[in-house]
A and B are shown apart, each in its own frame.
Chain A
Amino acid sequence: MSTTELHVHNPVEDLLRQDRMPTIWCPGCGIGTTVNSFAHALLKQDIDLNKTAIVSGIGCSGRVSGYMNLDSFHTTHGRAIPFATGLKLANPELNVIVYSGDGDLTSIGGNHLIHAARRNIDILVVCVNNMIYAMTGGQVAPTTPASSVSTTTPYGAFEPELNLPQLVDAAGACFVARWTAYHVIQLERTLEKALKKKGFRFIEVLSPCPTYYQRKNNMGDALQAMLDYKKRSKIRHGCPTWETALVPGGDIIVGEFVDRDREDYLTRMRRQLGPHYSEFPPQLEEHQSEGCSKEC
């Protein structure tokens, strides 16, 4: 029996660029797991995938955009959100998703994250948090738990980690959630919900990095990370985000924390502008308008 006969079509494959497989991700990495949940959530949506764009920054998770069979934009380090902002504002019909990593979105891109949430730009941001800069070989990130060992913190990190849900909540995000790569079904459902919602939406997904974070900190392999997520996770929907800090070795608070309605940037702009804003149909190119002038 050939492998072709064995192959059962997985609907997710249609959403992936098959000619880009295999991915660069290491065995045991959780990024692909989150992409699987994301693809399933997308397939259940009543949205036009031809009008769906995915934008990434740089890093392991920054490669997600390039594996999705959507309009894919792999931008510069930390700047996926401002690119996505331009994309959405100039064509409001697009569904725009930013998919990137913790270092990219919250360190070098931290300012953009805050201001996109504050402006309430209508985009969904998926932040895969593997707690380390993995693409560059395991350096400390703002999300690295305090005291963790990385290649640039050989004596353990001297700085505490950022609580991402609290950050984006304070900045005004409409929807804030956190899951781990263990919670594939919950993540898929939350993504489905977030994809339907309007405004700035943020989902943090903890992912193992067995190559760097787990290995450097003697935390075992990817399976051990999954067991750890299972054991330490506490589902607390609606939990105030100041209680969602990730304490090393402590509970991992997961769930949907914030779900509020707030007028998004473009809706507000158009409301405030009122009659000063005029819808502007594109100018017909001259050859298009030939032969059908008012006279004919």
Chain B
Amino acid sequence: MHADPRCVLTGTHFINGDAACCEGALAAGARFAAGYPITPSTEIVERFAARAPEVGGLFIQMEDEIASSIAIQGMVWAGQKAFTVTSGPGFSLMMEHIGLAAMTETPVVFVDVQRGGPSTGLPTLPSQGDMMQARFGSHGDYAVIALSPNSPQECFDLTVKAFNLAEEFRVPVMFMMDECVGHMTEKVVIPPAEQIEIYPRRHTKKPPGEFLLFESGEDLVPEMAHAGEGYKLYVTGLTHDRRGYPSLNPATQRELVTRLFDKIRRAADRLVMVESEQLEGAEVVVVSYGITSRVALRAVQMARAKGIRVGTLRLICVWPFPEKLIRELAPRVKALVMPELNMGQVVIELERCAGGQCKVISVPHAGGTVHDPADILAAIERGAQ
């Protein structure tokens, strides 16, 4: 189906990434949100609080991030699309409910506009320090999808995508912005509603009595029903069988947790979202995501001016990681260089997938600003040797 034109602010705008993310959520069909104020993410819900009543929705500012991250799940089981927005300290508080959403297969979007950490860290300055937390932050084993935009335009486009993926796979989707992208103002083109594809809720067509809430077909993603429709749903964070009933034994645990993993793992190839340039014949490939990809571009230009054959690979979907792509790329290059606004997080995964087939050079940064392109250039030069 397509986006509802009543919610889409079609046109060319000059807005920041936070505002674009809000418009993306509205275009995707989210009319409900809950959140708690935290820099540098608050502009998203400030705008949403003003926009939502016009389209029959609402924003509620909850007492904390723990409450926000579960209120949105109540909204989803009531039949709506919903999301929450936060930054590092709030993201930490939301971990419990990322696990709940994974376990109960609740399609929700968590937006994290990353700032410097740990703890209160650098409230107004950028980082990419929550990337591993986005993947592994809640206890137990589960799989999620995480997207990383590098421009206000992508904050719009990929927010729509994040909601679509949440609905398609019934997983919590992590939308990993950063302070730079959130506060950067650029041209954002919002297309007409009929050009925006929306993945509808996978609502069952079976009547109550014939429907099992956690029974899945070939793609391992179960259908859904909502409270108030007569299905007498049973939704629990306990290990549950296909009816949704608690079943606390290793066999049910294996069936459930394996399926929660496999529904993402099996679709991993389809979920690869990268932007690449000059990979053919490259000696060195700079692998990056989010705002760092834009800084890396300068270093790449400088390296090319020095005659080094450099390719770029930007991860738009960071989790699941494009494992196959890296395995194919690694034997063809001398080095993979990965700048990140953290002390080296996603590079661990890059290193694992490269499997010793090439050098993997991390360009860490403690956060607070972006890289100096010279540092990335130095790593490229080291890689080309």
Instruction: Identify the A interface with B (CB < 8 A).
Output: 17, 19-20, 50-51, 53, 55, 66, 69-76, 79, 81-91, 93-94, 111-112, 114-115, 269, 273, 276-280, 283, 285-286
Which among A50, A66, A286 is the interface contact of B2 at CB below 8 angstroms? A286
Beta-carbon contact of B70 and A79 below 8 Å: yes
Beta-carbon contact of B63 and A115 below 8 Å: yes
Which among B70, B80, B232 is the interface contact of A90 at CB below 8 angstroms? B80
B60 at the interface (CB under 8 A from A): yes
Instruction: For the complex, give the distance between the alpha carbons of A275 and B63 in Å.
Output: 28
Which among A86, A115, A269, A277 is the interface contact of B72 at CB below 8 angstroms? A86
Q: Identify which of B49-57, B183-191, B284-292, B342-350 touches chain A.
A: B49-57
Contacts of A74 in B (CB 8 A): 234-238, 246
B228 at the interface (CB under 8 A from A): yes
Beta-carbon contact of B78 and A83 below 8 Å: no
Binary per-residue interface labels of chain B (96-125) against chain A in the complex, 1 for a CB within 8 Å, 0 otherwise: 110010000000000000000000000000
Chain B nearest Cβ from A24, distance in angstroms: 10
Most chain B C-beta atoms within 10 Å of own C-beta, residue among A53, A81, A84: A53
Binary per-residue interface labels of chain B (48-83) against chain A in the complex, 1 for a CB within 8 Å, 0 otherwise: 000001111110101110111011111111111010
Contacts of B31 in A (CB 8 A): 280
- Listed A/B pairs (28) with beta-carbon separation below 8 Å: A17-B232, A17-B234, A50-B229, A51-B228, A71-B228, A71-B232, A75-B237, A76-B97, A79-B66, A79-B67, A82-B68, A83-B71, A83-B74, A84-B74, A85-B74, A86-B34, A86-B73, A89-B32, A91-B79, A91-B227, A93-B228, A94-B228, A269-B58, A273-B53, A277-B53, A277-B54, A278-B55, A280-B6
Beta-carbon contact of B232 and A87 below 8 Å: no
Q: State the total of A-B contacts with C-beta under 8 angstroms.
A: 150
Which among B78, B96, B246 is the interface contact of A76 at CB below 8 angstroms? B96
Beta-carbon contact of B232 and A72 below 8 Å: yes
| Given contact pairs A89-B58, A280-B57, A73 touches B67 in the complex (Cβ within 8 A) | no
Chain A nearest Cβ from B259, distance in angstroms: 20
Contacts of A83 in B (CB 8 A): 70-71, 73-74
Instruction: For the complex, give the distance between the alpha carbons of A108 and B58 in Å.
Output: 27
Instruction: For the complex, give the distance between the alpha carbons of A47 and B320 in Å.
Output: 46
The 9 closest A-B pairs by CB, nearest first: A280-B56, A86-B74, A90-B78, A86-B71, A82-B67, A91-B78, A74-B236, A87-B74, A90-B75
Chain B minimum-CB-distance residue to A72 = B234
Chain A nearest Cβ from B338, distance in angstroms: 35
Beta-carbon contact of B63 and A87 below 8 Å: no
Contacts of B29 in A (CB 8 A): 283
Instruction: For the complex, give the distance between the alpha carbons of A279 and B64 in Å.
Output: 28
| Given contact pairs A89-B60, A89-B75, A90-B80, A79 touches B232 in the complex (Cβ within 8 A) | no
B245 at the interface (CB under 8 A from A): yes
Instruction: For the complex, give the distance between the alpha carbons of A75 and B101 in Å.
Output: 10
Instruction: For the complex, give the distance between the alpha carbons of A92 and B385 in Å.
Output: 65
Beta-carbon contact of B6 and A87 below 8 Å: no
